Structure 1
Amino acid sequence: MDGIGAAALAELCGEVRGGRGPAYRTLADAIRVLVGDGRLPAGTRLPAERAFAERLRVSRVTVTHAYRELREEGWADARQGSGTWVRLPDGPAGVDGAWVPGPPRGGVIDLAHAAPAAPPGMSGLVQRAVRRLDGELAGHGYGPDGLPELRERIAARFTARGVPTDPDRIVVTGGALHAIGIAVAELTGAGDRVLVEHPTYPSALDVLADAGVRPVPVAPGPGIEDALPRAARQTAARAAYLMADFQNPTGRLLGDDSRARLLHRLARQGTVAIVDETFAELDLREGVRSPLPCAAHALRDDDVVTVGGASKIAWGGLRLGWIRAAREPAARMRRRLARAQIAQPVLEQLIAVEVLDAIDGIRAERTAELRRRRDRLVGELAAVLPEWRPVVPDGGLVLWCDLGAELSTALTAVAPRHGLTLAPGPRFGTGHAFEDRLRLPFTHPEPVLAEAVRRLRRAHDEIAGTSAGAGRPAGPAPVVV
């Protein structure tokens, strides 16, 4: 059974003294959230109470009470001589310990994941794909290179967006996250450094951890085109994982000049850019030309590897993604993928063909819907939680909210009592950063978003120790000693 050191866990838990409520409960809540979102895997042995208390600068009694609460609630076990280790609670209400959407639960609003429902026309596209399946059933069904017509459609979409692409530069994967994993495995080895924006997409951090590489966090604010290359020079990073289109979670959009400057400077340091285009088709601006794909600005084909997928523009249940790379790396990645799983499902590839054939209509409908939902969420927050300051993005699926105080983990811990699932700000970074931030997706229908904000108000009031009613600002939160 692997353990976590006192210093490492203290960094993840952050400050537990002087918060709202007893310190032991703040500590238990922090550990519960870490287990729930997968940062602290089930079966991990917790540090010895005395050493952990010293690192946290609290009494040993605080740690003892926190561990006891975790055991009583099913989040930990203990055995004489073996210490205390974390576990997942029993029963259908338990979490799976991974940062992925779980099965829908009646009445619970998931604000942890940005996962829109399928567009209304998706059923018709699936039916057309099923009719085309007859033409594939006479064969063996294995195609490690991906269906030729799908690779042609993906390549054509890149070409239409301004970066000429041949099908042999496309690798078909089981979703965008799978594409990131394949690209990281091809470009790096265990112990290599990979630059990441900070904050960034949590599942990408998980992929890097599984690959054994060392993420180097770089703040993605103004000047990212200078900060990333500077970090590359200082660390000799082999690759940089980034989102230029409505960065997840900050929503930042890089213009063409910034993209070109960033990629050219990374290339001079020998750092390959892994560009995640998951949100690229979700530009919510009207009458404005989107920037060219990053690959269009590369000086050499080998400088950029682009990953994308169908889950955000179409549906998360369609587990199809892709990689665009130079011909030789693309061929190596197809071989790597074939050794792991031989081929992607044929029917899903046929559905993806239909999606790409209808992409302009799907995109217009999706972005119009998301624009309305974004504006509704922003309006509800202004009315009900005016002390929160969201960044309103020009595209994508999420708001990145400044809470004005370090409330994120506490909100996440109490959220289930109010029918909510949240992802704490620190899940989007390393250590205990972003405790004052919360990511809120605007993927739900407008009435659901309005109800979600009312529940957020009640959760906020609970941890603030007030009786403020939903819809009224609670004011500065009192400190409970």
Structure 2
Amino acid sequence: MARLLGQWHSLPGRHRSPDYAALAGAIRGLLTDSRLPLGVRLPAERELAESLGVSRTTVTAAYRALRETGHLTSRRGAGSWTTLPNGHRVASSGLWTPDDDMDMIDLGVAASAAPVELVPAARAAADDLPRFLGSAGYHPTGLMELREAVAEGYTARGVPTSPEQILITSGVQHALDLVLRLSVPAGASVLVESPTYPNALAALAARRARISTHGLDAGGGWDGEMLLGALRQTRPRLAYVIPEFQNPSGHLMHADLRERLVAAAHSTGTELVVDESFVDLPLDGTPVPPPVAVFDRHSRVVSIGGMSKAYWGGLRIGWVRASAPLVQRLAALRVGVDMASPVLEQLVAVHLLRDAETIVATRRAQLSIRRDALVAALGEFLPEWRFTVPTGGVMLWAELDGPISSALARAAEDVGVRLAPGPRFGLDGTLERFMRLPFALPADDLTEAVRRIASVRHDLDRASRPAWRSPAVIT
């Protein structure tokens, strides 16, 4: 708990707030961005006071403040447990949000609004639906015509694929969860990038996996020798990577490392799960290397992808590409989870994929304009922040001018901006010097969001001049 709280004194107006209010605000921040889950028993007051080096009175008052706001429930003799306050809900990003937050500029979600082609596709899908109404409607592996369309996409990218190698799922997260259920027993070793996708970390934690990490360089991405060395040293049961416009760093893995990664995974007996959520979104004509599965000769690679990023997050369509026997095992497992994906949504996906060239080209042009607007705003309002301009995807990974990510996210809420601080993308409260900034919103919203962030960033400076403004290495 003390490690997660980190620099909990670094709050706007800290010089005007008592210690207990700052501590309560820091704990609320951990709850808001899901680093502290619901239903977790907090440390005893005396124990936390000793770990933080404060008086027990401070912790007692902080817990009382959290109970008053609905973030904590206490029972004598049993302890204090985290709860969801009345009037809040769990958002798609895993964050807690008020029910009346419609005016919030939400930079916690890296996904765009639906394309204009969605409504015509839905109408065409409804016209197709009568063909399927004579059956029960359960298709655990997915509708054959959608599996064929997804397989054709892989074949066009240089990976010959049959429909029998495709399993349709209810989004990419569902695809990952099914693969983990099948391949990761409790206590198994898993290797992930750092930073990485927070919901992947949550899924691995739910499987009680032993997670080890390979750190990405903020400017260059993967260090090939270190990544392959980590594979050979830990020999994990499974490794999870995002080679195309990595979430959250935006890096693109080059072809040589992809080939070497597959060979290393084969030599260590590691199943390689490749998340291709952003593969359709290169910007500025950036060439995308061949899929990792191109180099697979031993059925070690499981590819997962979906339609959330290039099309719409509300269309819950994802897939797994693997060997046909593995697809059948996943389908058998899936029956005990959710039976099958909705037929109507799959038909909508079929029609959208038929018009993929136009839809995706429009999305890329839209994201290029928004990325450039975000880069310009950061240069104007926060020139001290450092980042590599991404060549694809929907996000930028900014290195801040101090380990203030969580404090800045809490402050930004007060001016109507929701942020996903760096520690959400790593383990044990690290990455406080970083912030993920998606550019999925309109350009004007992005510019206004950065202006507001800059205003509260300067408030942090006025509140207290931190002693940690010199550059630090985060691993």
Cα displacement (A) at 1:356: 1.3
Amino acid at match of 2:154: F
Deviation digits for residues 393-433 of structure 1 (CA, Å, limit 9, x no counterpart): 11111111111111111112122211111112101000111
SS in 1 for 2:319: strand
Work out the CA distance in 2 between the residues paired with 1:479 and 1:143. Answer: 58
Deviation digits for residues 88-131 of structure 1 (CA, Å, limit 9, x no counterpart): 2212xx24287437678321111111121011221111111111
Q: Which residue of 1 aligns with 2:325?
A: 328
1:444–1:307: structure 2 CA closer, same or farther, 3 Å change rule?
A: same
Q: Which residue of the other structure, out of 318, 340, 343, is the alignment partner of 1:343?
A: 340
1:408 aligns with 2:400: no
Q: Which residue of 2 aligns with 1:158?
A: 154
Q: Which residue of 2 aligns with 1:478?
A: 465
Work out the CA distance in 1 between the residues paired with 2:118 and 2:124. Answer: 10
Paired residues of 2:10 and 2:404 also in contact (CA < 8 A)? no
Q: Which residue of 2 aligns with 1:12?
A: 4
Aligned length in residues: 458
Unaligned runs of 5+ in 2: 468-475
Q: Which residue of the other structure, out of 90, 93, 98, is the alignment partner of 1:96?
A: 90
Q: Which residue of 1 aligns with 2:192?
A: 196
> Which stretch of structure 1 is more off in the superposition, 211-220 or 349-358?
211-220
- TM-score if structure 2 supplies the norm length? 0.92
User: What does 1:79-478 correspond to in 2, within 5 Å?
Assistant: 79-91=75-87, 94-96=88-90, 99-100=93-94, 105-221=101-217, 222-286=221-285, 288-300=286-298, 302-465=299-462, 478=465
Amino acid at match of 2:302: V
Amino acid at match of 2:390: P
SS in 2 for 1:240: strand
Paired residues of 1:38 and 1:97 also in contact (CA < 8 A)? no
Amino acid at match of 2:134: A
Work out the CA distance in 2 between the residues paired with 1:228 and 1:186. Answer: 25
1:411–1:157: structure 2 CA closer, same or farther, 3 Å change rule?
A: same
> Which stretch of structure 1 is more off in the superposition, 51-60 or 165-174?
51-60
Paired residues of 1:175 and 1:311 also in contact (CA < 8 A)? yes
SS in 1 for 2:335: helix
Cα displacement (A) at 1:83: 2.8
Deviation digits for residues 218-254 of structure 1 (CA, Å, limit 9, x no counterpart): 1023544332332222223101001000000011101
Paired residues of 2:307 and 2:313 also in contact (CA < 8 A)? yes
> Which stretch of structure 1 is more off in the superposition, 377-386 or 339-348?
339-348
> Which stretch of structure 1 is more off in the superposition, 412-421 or 96-105?
96-105
Deviation digits for residues 436-461 of structure 1 (CA, Å, limit 9, x no counterpart): 11111100011111111122122223
SS in 2 for 1:366: helix
Q: Which residue of 1 aligns with 2:472?
A: none
Paired residues of 1:194 and 1:239 also in contact (CA < 8 A)? yes
Paired residues of 1:37 and 1:98 also in contact (CA < 8 A)? no
Task: Report % sequence identity.
Answer: 43
Q: Which residue of 2 aligns with 1:470?
A: none
Work out the CA distance in 1 between the residues paired with 2:300 and 2:10. Answer: 49
Cα displacement (A) at 1:58: 3.2
Work out the CA distance in 1 between the residues paired with 2:40 and 2:94. Answer: 20
Work out the CA distance in 1 between the residues paired with 2:107 and 2:283. Answer: 20
Work out the CA distance in 1 between the residues paired with 2:161 and 2:328. Answer: 15
- TM-score if structure 1 supplies the norm length? 0.90
Cα displacement (A) at 1:154: 0.4
Amino acid at match of 2:144: P
RMSD of the alignment, in Å? 2.0
Work out the CA distance in 1 between the residues paired with 2:129 and 2:432. Answer: 49
Q: Which residue of 2 aligns with 1:62?
A: 58
Cα displacement (A) at 1:18: 7.2
Unaligned runs of 5+ in 1: 1-8, 467-476
Paired residues of 1:187 and 1:239 also in contact (CA < 8 A)? yes
Cα displacement (A) at 1:479: 3.8
> Which stretch of structure 1 is more off in the superposition, 432-441 or 60-69?
60-69
> Which stretch of structure 1 is more off in the superposition, 50-59 or 308-317?
50-59
Cα displacement (A) at 1:357: 1.1
Paired residues of 1:226 and 1:262 also in contact (CA < 8 A)? no
1:224–1:238: structure 2 CA closer, same or farther, 3 Å change rule?
A: farther
